[in-house]
Each structure stands twice: as C-alpha cells, then as structure tokens.
Amino acid sequence: MVKKEPWYIKLRSNALAIVYLTRRDDLIVSQQQKGTGLDLLVTITKDGNHRGRIFGVEVKATVSSSELIQHQNSFRLKNIRHNIESFKDLPFPFCLFFFTLDNDKTYYKWILEPIVKYENDVTLKFNGNTVLKNLNDESIDNIITIVNRWYDSKNKLL
C-alpha cells in the first residue's frame, strides 16, 4: 500500500522555501504552475532592478526526519525518490530544497550546479546523488554568490 502524504506538506514546504529566500531583499520568488516540475523561480536583482539572473528550486518535504541518514555534515535521503533527470536540459542553475516537517529542518542540494572552471569556461553540472546539506541563511548567501559568479563569467563570454 502506498503511503499518502498529508495534504498540507506541499503547501507548507513551499511557504517555508519562500520564507527562507525572501529573507534577502535582492530576491524575487515566483511560484510556478503546478505540473511543470519547477516549484519556484528565483530572480536575483541588483538595486531593485532585474538583471536576467534566475535559478530554479524544486521543493520536497517529508513529515518525518527519520527519512534522512546523517553522515558528518551531510545527509542522505533514505526512501524518498524523486525524478531529477527531467531537469537536465534547463538553461539555468537549479536546486532542491528538502524539508523535514517534524523538526522544521531544511536541507538543499544542487541539481544543476553552476560551475566556473575558468573565466571562459562555465557549465551546469548535473548532480544525480542524494547527498543533502543544511540550508540556512549562510548557505543561501553562498548559493546566490555561486549563481552570480556563474552569470558574471557567462556574460564575459558574450
């Protein structure tokens, strides 16, 4: 028998993701249409102006933190499967935010990680593993720094 998740999980986890992201005043968070696979589209602004810098967020959650296995500073999903293969062709960075609702802990991982090898060599690296890291204000700052660096380098190629 398939275990059905409570009705409020998606609603609550999306709201938590928006709260985390909107702690920064340079981010505009847009919820996407249901069924697209992309839950949130985040626009990075500078001085309130759009600059064409976006990244996506898929939001997942579970009621119980027992779905995670901790190993030092990282975590792995135990029994939760999600199809991330369909995001391989996105043209922008993409993260997974994962919430455990019994203890309000938040984790993240890159699905399409922005990589700058050299100033003229930028790519989006697909990350198919299940390793998660803690998500907090510092890691969100780091995500934005990485995304901005990727766009800066990408724009130099044009």
Per the CB < 8 A criterion, the answer to whether 106 and 135 are in contact is yes
Per CATH, the number for 9-156 is 3.40.1350
Roughly what angle, to the nearest 10 degrees, separates helices 9-21 and 137-156? 70
Q: What is the pLDDT of residues 21-51, one digit of tens each?
A: 999 999 999 998 887 778 999 999 998 899 8
Amino acid at 88: K
DSSP state of 84: -
Q: How far is CA 70 from the centre of its chain?
A: 19
List pLDDT tens digits, range 60-102. 888 765 555 555 665 666 555 566 777 888 999 999 998 888 7
- In the three-class reduction of DSSP (H, G, I as helix; E, B as strand; rest coil), residue 32 is classed as coil
Task: Supply φ then ψ for residue 54, to 5 degrees.
Answer: -135, 160
